Chain A
Amino acid sequence: MKNIDYSAAPLLKVSGLKEYFRNSRTYTVKAVDDISFEIYKGETYGLVGESGSGKSTTGRTIIRLLNPTDGSVEFAGHQIGGRRLSHEDEKFLRLNMQMIFQDPEACLNPRKKVKQLVAEGLEIHHLYKDQQDLDDKVARILDKVGLSAEQANRYPHQFSGGQRQRIGIARALVMNPQLIIADEPISALDVSIQAQVVNLMKDIQQELGTTYLFIAHDLSMVKYISDRIGVMHLGHIVETGTTDELFAMPVHPYTRSLLSAIPHPNPAIEKTRVAMSYDKDEEGVDYTKGTYHTLSMTHTVLATDAEFNDWKQHTTY
């Protein structure tokens, strides 16, 4: 079991983060609408939700692939959230935060060898003594993700999907980052390979103490890797808690509908089971009116007072 110090200052502190896309004079997409959460050193924070809920946008805004509309993001003592990013803070961010993308096919440059792909970050930041040192570093990381040294001279198309995702992980790891944002790293992979990649990410965390922000839509996989989970819907975090809390006593109807949508591999039961459905408008839930209600130290729900009392009755403790 991992030992995470929750009393220490969080590694990443996101507060009031907003990301709006202004499509026209009259229409603005509020992809991320005022969300706050913290990630502590050494833990894995899972962010789940359906497509369009803003979970990927959140990840991209934190790592500054997108510029935030509003809100603050504090990362290991550096303010990386504002509209302007100072040169010094940006350098710190690029060195200490890395990303793993969803589609391993699209995120690797097809014209570069694996060796070059993995070494790119080191080269940009001059993090090696000489060529020998660079080669050693690359070889060590490739070995860690389960690729052999002779594969370093190959091109991405010569690898299978699972191996390509390993290259993506190696590329993020080689910088020895404090935080890795993994944006749906397993959705594009086959079932038998998904488990391999999740296990690899867990092993690396155990060895190096890396912190993850794990973005996914599949709650059952997230459960395996996450210590805490935030459930996003339409730009809001509607419920957050430790993995055990969320699975044992989900309060928000959206969380409950997500949990009930996980198919069980038990045919005799699954055949007759009807999944719970949730429609925000039908139930008259307005996220902007809700405030965060605390159930325990780590478990909070976005709701109005009336909704909170109503939902709590449905939950079995």
Chain B
Amino acid sequence: MTEYKKKDKKDRVLSIRDLNISFSTANGVVRAIRGIRFDLFKGETVAIVGESGSGKSVTMKTLMGILDANGHIDSGSIDYTYTEADGQSKTVDIVKMTPQQVRYQLCGRHIAMVFQDPLTSLDPTMPIGKQIMEGMLEHEHISKEEAHKRAIGLLERVGIDDPAKRFREYPHQLSGGMRQRVVIAIAVACNPDILICDEPTTALDVTIQAKILELIKSIQLERNISVIYITHDLGVVAKVADYVAVMYAGKIIEKGNINEIFYDPRHPYTWGLLASIPDVEVKADRLAAIPGTPPDLMVPVKGDAFAPRNAYALNIDFEAEPPMFDVGGQHRVSSWLADPRAPKVQMPQQLRERIDKMLAEVDKAKEATVQ
């Protein structure tokens, strides 16, 4: 396991504080994000994990200034630090900017996004090469020839054969995996500081998934980009992330570095998520499922939002919202079980066994490398 060093505040690219977002709908106000606090450092990969409706996509849309028209930021701040062309460091609060300002000044140039479905995020009427050039021409004011040259370089970088020919092709002429490679090329065309990947591999086949993840990783290392993954696939998280934030019902309920979350999870929801991954090596007749469904955020949440689905819920879980408890290292948990006064509760037996097995595997791999 890699040791985790303490991050320097200087390297902080993004810092979200107490963010609250609500949507007004015909049926009432939906409190989609309820107080999020989270940091992103240079070159780091953060994964935000959660079910649909947990608010992970909304947070990232706010960052890009593409929040839906009925959405409203109630409070909080998103401080984004970047280096200007003249080498000066500058910090802006995205919440205070208008969506237009965010889109003109930050999107594409500083923050870029890869969406889930490559077919809908590409323009079907425009050759892919032209789509890659668009951002560079808009933001960097370079000549068309220069942009053309760079676009072909990018196509080659993302692993597309014969880039000069592909440059003139349309999205429908490419396979799903190729399209996603083009989307990645567009996203990194202007050398952004932050790359947001919203379920980048969900629409792709498992065999292609691994290759796309490896591509994003290699580009990240090469350019020292910070990457935020939004996903519900914990297998993907295990492969790419340094730091994980688990979201449930608009709140981050547990966060920590990858080893803390996977080898020492503390929140019952994280236990449930980890236990529900089918284990290929273990023969079991039943999957450990989390009972019930996520709460309706139209109704104000009382206590811990996960309490009704939680087999380990304490009485206080139905009364008061748990604060973030510091459980050592970078690990923070929002669950009353982490309170020193709470009874000691162990994670489910099945999960305990699996984690022990994983740790044993790690030890074995370590020994093998030493020899």
Residues of chain A having any CB pair with chain B under 8 Å: 50-51, 160-163, 190-196, 198-199, 202, 217-221, 223-224, 247, 257-259, 261-271, 273-275, 277-278
| Inter-chain contacts of B235 with A (CB < 8 A) | 262-265, 270
Whether A196 contacts B211 by the Cβ 8 Å rule is: no
Cβ–Cβ contact A192 & B362, under 8 A: no
Residues in chain B near residue A265, CB distance under 8 A: 234-235, 238, 262, 274, 277, 358
Cα–Cα distance between A193 and B54 once the two chains are bound (Å):
14
A196 to B274, CA, bound (A): 14
Chain B 1-37 interface 0/1 with A at a Cβ cutoff of 8 Å (1 = within): 1000000000000000000000000000000000000
Chain A: minimal CB distance from B134 (Å): 29
Judged by a CB distance under 8 angstroms, whether B127 is at the interface is no
Query: Are B210's CB and A261's CB within 8 A?
Result: yes
Give per-residue flags for B271-304: 1 if the beta carbon is below 8 A from chain A beta carbons, else 0. 0111011111000111111110110000000000
Q: A261-B210, A269-B365 are in contact. Are A199 and B238 (CB under 8 A)?
A: no
Cross-chain contact A194 with B276 (CB below 8 angstroms): yes
Residues of B within 8 A of A50 (CB): 205-207
Interface hits, B285-338 → A, CB 8 Å: 285-291, 293-294
Q: Is the CB of A160 within 8 A of B293?
A: yes
Determine if B293 and A162 form an interchain contact, defined as CB atoms under 8 angstroms apart: yes
Q: Contact partner of B207 among A160, A191, A275, CB < 8 A?
A: A275
Task: Check B233–A224 contact: CB distance below 8 A.
Answer: no
Residues of A within 8 A of B209 (CB): 261, 263
Q: Is the CB of B233 within 8 A of A266?
A: no
Given A191-B276, A191-B277, A247-B280, also A262-B52 (CB < 8 A): no
Q: How far is the CA of A273 from the CA of B214 in the complex (A)?
A: 10
Please tell me which one of the listed residues B233, B280, B293, B362 contacts residue A193 in the complex, with CB atoms under 8 A apart.
Answer: B293
- With A51-B176, A191-B273, A261-B206 known, 12 other A-B pairs at CB within 8 A are A51-B205, A192-B273, A195-B290, A218-B206, A219-B280, A220-B279, A223-B280, A257-B207, A258-B207, A265-B234, A270-B239, A273-B239
Q: Is the CB of B278 within 8 A of A223?
A: yes
Q: What residues of B have a CB within 8 angstroms of the CB of A219 in the complex? A: 206, 280
Kindly list chain B residues whose C-beta atoms are within 8 Å of the C-beta of A267: 237-239, 241, 258-259, 262
Contact yes or no, A198 B207, CB < 8 A: no
The answer to whether residues A195 and B289 also contact, given A51-B205, A267-B262 and a CB cut-off of 8 A, is yes
- Distance between Cα atoms of A278 and B210 in the complex (Å): 13
B293 and A191 form a contact (CB under 8 A): no
Task: State whether the Cβ of B236 lies closer than 8 Å to any Cβ in chain A.
Answer: yes
Task: Judge whether B130 is part of the interface by a CB distance below 8 angstroms.
Answer: no
Question: Could you name 6 residue pairs across A and B whose Cβ atoms are closer than 8 Å?
Answer: A191-B277, A192-B51, A262-B235, A263-B209, A265-B235, A269-B358
- Chain A neighbourhood of B61, CB < 8 A: none
B352 contacts the other chain (CB 8 A): no
Near A by CB (< 8 A), chain B positions 226-278 give 232-239, 241, 258-259, 262, 272-274, 276-278
- The CA-CA distance from A4 to B250 in the complex, in Å, is 47
**How many Å lie between the Cα of A17 and that of B277 in the bound state?**
35
Contacts of A202 in B (CB 8 A): 285-286
Separation of A257 and B206 alpha carbons in the complex (Å): 10
Q: Which of chain B's residues has its CB closest to A146's CB? A: B291
Q: Within the assembled complex, what's the spacing in Å between the Cα atoms of A193 and B52?
A: 11
Please, which residue of chain B has its CB at the minimum distance from the CB of A191? Answer: B232
Q: In the bound complex, what is the Cα–Cα distance between A163 and B293 (angstroms)?
A: 9
* Least distance between A56 CB and chain B CB atoms (Å): 14
Give the distance to chain B from A165, nearest Cβ to Cβ, in Å. 12
Give the complex CA separation of A191 and B75 in angstroms: 31
Residues of B within 8 A of A274 (CB): 210, 214
**Is B146 positioned at the interface, with any CB of A under 8 Å from its CB?**
no
- Interface residues of B toward A: which range? 35 or more
Q: Indicate whether B156 reaches chain A with its CB closer than 8 angstroms.
A: no
Task: Kindly list chain A residues whose C-beta atoms are within 8 Å of the C-beta of B276.
Answer: 191-192, 194-195
Whole-angstrom distance between the Cβ of A257 and the nearest chain B Cβ: 6
Q: Could you say which residues of chain B place their CB within 8 Å of the CB of A221?
A: 278
**What residues of chain B lie closer than 8 Å to A223, measured between beta carbons?**
278, 280
- Across the A-B interface, the 6 shortest Cβ-Cβ residue pairs: A263-B235, A195-B289, A275-B210, A195-B287, A50-B205, A192-B290
Bound-state Cα–Cα, A219 to B273, Å: 18
Residues on the B chain within 8 Å of A195, using CB: 276, 287-290
The reply on B361 being an interface residue by CB < 8 A is yes
Q: How far is the CA of A109 from the CA of B13 in the complex (A)?
A: 48
CB distance from A105 to the nearest CB of B (A): 12
CB-CB nearest in chain B for A222: B278
Give chain A nearest CB distance to B49 CB in angstroms.
Answer: 9
Q: How far is the CA of A259 from the CA of B207 in the complex (A)?
A: 9
Q: Determine if B238 and A270 form an interchain contact, defined as CB atoms under 8 angstroms apart.
A: yes
Closest approach, in angstroms, between the C-beta of B282 and any C-beta of chain A? 10
Nearest neighbor of B285 in chain A, beta-carbon distance: A202
Most buried by B among A191, A199, A219, A247: A191
Interface string of B332-371 (1 = CB under 8 A from A): 0000000000000000000000000010011001000000
Q: Which residues of A contact B291 (CB under 8 A)?
A: 196
Closest to B54 in A: A190
Instruction: Name the residue in B235, B273, B289, B291 with the highest tally of chain A Cβ atoms < 10 Å from its Cβ.
Output: B289
- A277 to B207, Cβ gap below 8 A? yes
**Please, which residue of chain B has its CB at the minimum distance from the CB of A271?**
B239
Is the CB–CB distance between A268 and B239 below 8 Å?
Answer: no
Q: Kindly provide the distance from the CB of A169 to the nearest chain B CB, expressed in whole angstroms.
A: 15
A263 to B207, CA, bound (A): 10
Nearest-neighbour CB distance to chain A for B271, whole angstroms, equals: 11
CB closest residue in chain A, given B52: A190
When distances are taken between beta carbons in the complex, the residues of chain A under 8 Å from B176 are 51
Residues on the A chain within 8 Å of B262, using CB: 265-267
Bound state CA distance, A219 and B207, in angstroms?
Answer: 11
Which of B206, B285, B293, B358 makes the CB contact (< 8 A) with A262?
Answer: B206
Distance of A217 Cα from B276 Cα, bound (Å): 18
CB-defined contacts of B211 to chain A, threshold 8 Å? 275, 277
In the bound complex, CA of A170 to CA of B219 (Å): 47
